Structure 1
Amino acid sequence: MEEKREKLIFYALFIIICYFALIWYMPYMDPDEARYVEIPREMIQLRHYVIPYLNYTVYLEKPPLYYWMNILALKIFGFNDFAGRFWTVTISLIGIFLNYKFAKKIINQKTAFWSSLILASSMYYFIIGRLNLIDTTNAFFITMSTYSGYLYLKTNKKYFVYLMYIGMALGFLSKALIGIIFPFAILFLWSIFAKQFKSFFRLISPIGIILLLALCLPWIYMAGQQVSDFYYYFFLKQEFLRYLEPLEHTQPIWTFLPVVIFGFLPWILFIFSMIKAYKISKFKGIQKDDLIFLLTFGGFIFVFYSLSQSKLVTYVAPLFFPLSIVLGNMFSNIKNIDKNDKYINLVMFSIFFVALIGFCFVQNVYMSLEKWFMLITPSAIVLIVLAILPFIVKDAKKTFLSIFFGIMIFYNLAIIPTAAYTIYYKTTKPVALFVNKIYKKGDLLGQYKLYRQSFNYYTQKRTIQIDSVNELGFGRSHLSPKEQEKWFPSIEQFKKVWDSDKRVILLIKTNQIPKFAYKHYYILLKEPYFSIISNKGQTD
């Protein structure tokens, strides 16, 4: 027993190290990562902790819980590339532990172990579990409340239903109504599919409702007091119209199918072994009601967002929790690896290897081939090992454990070339740091026909948006006409500022420089994707 406990601690420590390793290595990427660290930075600077602000205008796309968490991290760790990712990583790790405890309670320890390894090392969960995104935290609260509600129905222990309502409140404060709707919807559907409809109404708890309202209503009331059209914009437009109307991110209905399939790499590669295990064991250890619950949970998330007009890859994060338990049970029952899976594994990792090598030829990598090959060599070696592992290691369980360790190491090694490539086009940090060196009091900063949140974060200043409103439209509408012209001018309106005595420093896409609206300008810094131009030379 003690030996088993030590092994679990070893795996837990390995996962923790892999998740925290190098999270500071990459700058915050635009738009999402940079947005979700810039908003708390501005809230700290403005000392406005009720209403989120972005580029110093009201921004009510999301409730403030995640921003509050990042405010705490920024105050503890400082304004760096670690602080904004601290809570995502921490919540992701707690989510793995939650999944382990839930699987152990409803099935067995063996399934819990494998489901934890699968969740932790699945490509999708590992990637979004290390980025500064709200979706990971929201997925955790949805899972926490749904699992708690289900355990209450199974055990009748009151603290589970209270935990459900607390989880829903935190889910609401992280991403609004879906934090409340999803747990109820999933459990309602389960009660129908499992033919236990009457049991659903046991979830209606007066004390739970009081807890929910006590946690949510204070912020709703204060936000409504400070922003006149808060209720219309936040609840109606952002919650309902966003689902029904193609406001943005419109994608085909099958969008999330490849996301889930590839998101479960490398484990989905052993599909034939899983099918064979299912034929023999028939989900051994899982009771029928529990299996219905897990599949209903995952299926609801998948169908809901597939039907939604607004689609982003990160939306389906909650389904990876229950489906990893289903896969974990199947893997716990695999005795031998099917020979077809060995070749599928070989082909897939070979494709990754070729893609890694050939990427520099397909894309403009902004660096020499020699440097690129030097950066990818460690990752490429691990890919080769992963490709041939099933042919070398005969025991199925040892093979899976080796793949687990190998893929986790690969993910971390791959961060280095990924950062070297994305730093040129997914973030403005290099040009922002240049601006910090040349900036003088009284200079005006702007962005020409674009908006990059990372530019605000790394310069720690407000920028003028020339001929660009983007996601700041709601905040802009709350400014006076004079302020709108000052901070969101058209090209014609901005010309008098450009021709003034004040020095203006603009962020611009490099390919837009020849199309720049004004005749005179100075190029202060020219990078492959972003550049810095000014109406004055550096010596003026």
Structure 2
Amino acid sequence: MTPLPPSNPSKKLSIDCLFVAFICFVLFSLQLGNRPFATPDEGRYVEIPREMVATGDWVTPRLNGVKYFEKPPFLYWLQACSFKVFGLNEFGMRLWIVLFATLGCVATYAFGRSIFDRTTGLMAAGILATTALYFSLARLIILDMVVSTWVTLALFCFYQALSKPASQNRRLWFYGFSAACAFGVLTKGIMALAVPGPLIVLWLTYTRQWRLVLPLYFVGSCVVFLAITAPWHILVSLKNPEFAYKYFIVEHFLRYTTSIHARYKPVWFFLPITLVGLLPWTTFLYDAWKTFWGRRTSPLYSYLWMWIGWVLLFFSVSNSKLIPYILPIFPPLALLVAHSLREACQNRSHMVFYRHSFVMIILGMLGFIVPNALPEVLDEKIGLIPYIYGLSGLFLAHGFSVVICLKRDSITSALSSIGVTAVIMTVILGAAAPHVQRPSLKGLVNIILKEQKPGEPIVSFLTYYQDLPLYSQQRVMVVGAKGELDFGTTVEDTTEWIVTEEAFLQKWQAAQRGGHKIWAVGRLHDVEVFQRKNTGFHFGITSIDGPNVLFHN
């Protein structure tokens, strides 16, 4: 008999990674271009790259022509490349976020396969991709998905490096750790070090494994880190002397320690966000915690749980909190939930799934009751009601289907039901996305561009609309609302297009006398109040879209 050829683990790993990447990419790409850019984030993170392409300056980020030093440029550079290829296209500009979300799932699979087994790794990737928060942020142009992926890769590389003997392989894993940290810094600043750095120190101290750190290949790792991070920081500092104070002091130290950006939330803010964001897999956290508590001396379990705990603690004590900040805990959560589910299936533990079905049924019932009993909860998001009912019906049907599967002693079918429910949930979330974000100016801008003649300015009136310069692809005049443009106006003369209400009124009246048209977008209420205060202000309304009005002189 001819012996079978030996298996190739590397080839199997590569095939699995390609499979996970393909499935996740397709999942995240569905309905990706079915909505305009969301404001403020997507408007900002597409407009800055657009201006890089328009001006040819890829060192100094600018927003509506004003210097903008809140974040480093890595995502801007990627988005600028997309703009060159796709132009102003919602699908094309969101593609990099989809790719990084996909990379995060592939990394989670590879890590899970390395520390547990292939099945657990595949389950972890599937769980991560179909959690409510990860899926939603995989389709939104923000920095958090990108930096979360870099943090995941960094912590994965560090754990792998520590498990290797002194060798070229160990050296490369440490270099991978340094590179991931460096790209994280180039994406969102020092936060990319504040997550893995203290976590590693705490974990090594708790597990008493400092002896495993050496050899660290410190010099080579520093060279890799500085080669990636230093060039831009040096160049932008040389071109902009004001950069260091704004970037390091205001946007790192003061943002974290004060409420300078008015993003204060209570210390427990991220706990409900995590529980809701992990749906429909949330119920399995209890069993994952029980597994850890029974093996809390294990370096592996403590590494994953300390990863989660440190990220929660770090952002919870901060005075600046936004929902996406918590994203880095989702890969380790997915790994722990996958491992817990794998053990539950092997042990044929029905109680784990009964508990899950009970919670799903309760959530489904609440989804039908709350919108009717407390309509003010949805406020102006009335368009979400059909999707809430859809999710509620899905959760109810799923909860009962799991019970039926368990009555037939089919745990595999129960697990399959959860997976199918998770995928259907992502489809509903994708369809609901346009109703969650703020009203877009895309329609009003299209009207302007059809009528606008050369030299006619566009005005953002008493509000800085992030998507107004983006969709018009030109710098706009901002009246009485500097917001995040404020710092840039203090270091350059921007009085030509960042103007006070008084200066705007003079320009408006002068244009009327000269027969020149000015196009402006603002809230109808603000325009009417301004007219009552300034009797010489006359305007005509071109179009109204939701709370926003397009008007002209």
TM over 0.5: yes
Question: Counterpart in 2 of 1:297?
Answer: 307
- CA deviation string 1:220-273 (max 9, x = no partner): 111011111111211122121211121121111111111111111111134566
What SS is found at the alignment partner of 2:195? helix
Q: Distance in 2 between matches of 1:489 and 1:399?
A: 62
Q: Distance in 1 between matches of 2:370 and 2:125?
A: 29
What SS is found at the alignment partner of 1:533? strand
Question: Counterpart in 2 of 1:192?
Answer: 205
Question: Counterpart in 2 of 1:126?
Answer: 135
Say if 1:7 and 1:472 are closer, same or farther in 2 by CA, change over 3 A.
closer
What SS is found at the alignment partner of 2:542? strand
Determine whether 1:45 maps to 2:54: yes
Question: Counterpart in 1 of 2:401?
Answer: 389
| Worse overlay, 342-351 or 469-478 | 342-351
Q: Distance in 2 between matches of 1:65 and 1:11?
A: 25
Write the mapping of 1:424-439 to structure 2, written as runs, cut at 5 A. 425-439=438-452
Q: Distance in 2 between matches of 1:266 and 1:359?
A: 24
What SS is found at the alignment partner of 2:124? helix
Write the mapping of 1:407-426 to structure 2, written as runs, cut at 5 A. 407-419=422-434, 421-422=435-436, 425-426=438-439
| Worse overlay, 511-520 or 311-320 | 511-520
Say if 1:150 and 1:278 are closer, same or farther in 2 by CA, change over 3 A.
closer
Q: Distance in 2 between matches of 1:445 and 1:495?
A: 14
Say if 1:17 and 1:385 are closer, same or farther in 2 by CA, change over 3 A.
farther
Determine whether 1:398 maps to 2:407: no
Write the mapping of 1:77-156 to structure 2, written as runs, cut at 5 A. 77-156=86-165
Question: Counterpart in 2 of 1:307?
Answer: 317
Question: Counterpart in 1 of 2:364?
Answer: 349
Shift of 1:410: 2.6
Checking the alignment, whether the CA contact within 8 Å between 2:127 and 2:334 is kept in structure 1 is yes
Q: Distance in 1 between matches of 2:212 and 2:93?
A: 41
Shift of 1:422: 4.4
Shift of 1:25: 0.7
Sequence identity percentage: 24
Q: What letter matches 1:267 in structure 2?
A: W
Among 323, 330, 352, the alignment partner of 1:320 is 330
Among 45, 58, 67, the alignment partner of 1:58 is 67
Checking the alignment, whether the CA contact within 8 Å between 2:522 and 2:549 is kept in structure 1 is yes
Q: Distance in 2 between matches of 1:46 and 1:358?
A: 54
| Worse overlay, 247-256 or 380-389 | 380-389
Determine whether 1:505 maps to 2:523: no
Q: Distance in 1 between matches of 2:241 and 2:326?
A: 33
What SS is found at the alignment partner of 1:63? coil
Q: Distance in 1 between matches of 2:373 and 2:545?
A: 23
Write the mapping of 1:136-535 to structure 2, written as runs, cut at 5 A. 136-156=145-165, 157-200=170-213, 202-203=215-216, 205-248=218-261, 249-270=263-284, 278=291, 282=294, 288-334=298-344, 335-338=348-351, 339-353=354-368, 362-364=378-380, 382-394=394-406, 395-419=410-434, 421-422=435-436, 425-480=438-493, 483-484=494-495, 486-501=496-511, 502-517=516-531, 518=534, 519-535=537-553
* TM-score normalised according to structure 2 size: 0.87
What SS is found at the alignment partner of 1:27? coil
Shift of 1:30: 0.6
What SS is found at the alignment partner of 1:508? strand
Checking the alignment, whether the CA contact within 8 Å between 1:138 and 1:175 is kept in structure 2 is yes
* TM-score normalised according to structure 1 size: 0.89
| Worse overlay, 333-342 or 103-112 | 333-342
Q: Distance in 1 between matches of 2:91 and 2:69?
A: 25
Shift of 1:488: 1.7
What SS is found at the alignment partner of 2:458? strand
Say if 1:77 and 1:197 are closer, same or farther in 2 by CA, change over 3 A.
same
Q: Which runs of 5+ in 2 are unaligned?
A: 1-6
Checking the alignment, whether the CA contact within 8 Å between 1:449 and 1:465 is kept in structure 2 is yes
Q: Distance in 2 between matches of 1:44 and 1:29?
A: 21
Q: What letter matches 1:514 in structure 2?
A: E
What SS is found at the alignment partner of 1:511? helix
Shift of 1:302: 0.7
Q: Distance in 1 between matches of 2:112 and 2:490?
A: 49
Q: Which runs of 5+ in 1 are unaligned?
A: 536-540
What SS is found at the alignment partner of 1:333? helix
Say if 1:267 and 1:150 are closer, same or farther in 2 by CA, change over 3 A.
same
Checking the alignment, whether the CA contact within 8 Å between 2:64 and 2:476 is kept in structure 1 is yes
Shift of 1:204: 5.7
Say if 1:244 and 1:144 are closer, same or farther in 2 by CA, change over 3 A.
same
Say if 1:7 and 1:244 are closer, same or farther in 2 by CA, change over 3 A.
closer
- CA deviation string 1:198-227 (max 9, x = no partner): 444644610110111111111111101111
Shift of 1:472: 0.6
Q: What letter matches 1:530 in structure 2?
A: N
Q: Distance in 2 between matches of 1:267 and 1:59?
A: 39
Say if 1:510 and 1:393 are closer, same or farther in 2 by CA, change over 3 A.
farther
Q: Distance in 1 between matches of 2:124 and 2:321?
A: 27
Question: Counterpart in 2 of 1:34?
Answer: 43
Checking the alignment, whether the CA contact within 8 Å between 1:30 and 1:427 is kept in structure 2 is yes
Number of equivalenced pairs: 521
- CA deviation string 1:302-358 (max 9, x = no partner): 101111111111111111111221121111111234334322111113333556789
Checking the alignment, whether the CA contact within 8 Å between 1:161 and 1:203 is kept in structure 2 is yes
The CA RMSD over aligned residues, in Å, is: 2.8
Question: Counterpart in 1 of 2:4?
Answer: none
Checking the alignment, whether the CA contact within 8 Å between 1:70 and 1:83 is kept in structure 2 is no
Checking the alignment, whether the CA contact within 8 Å between 2:127 and 2:281 is kept in structure 1 is yes
Shift of 1:474: 1.5
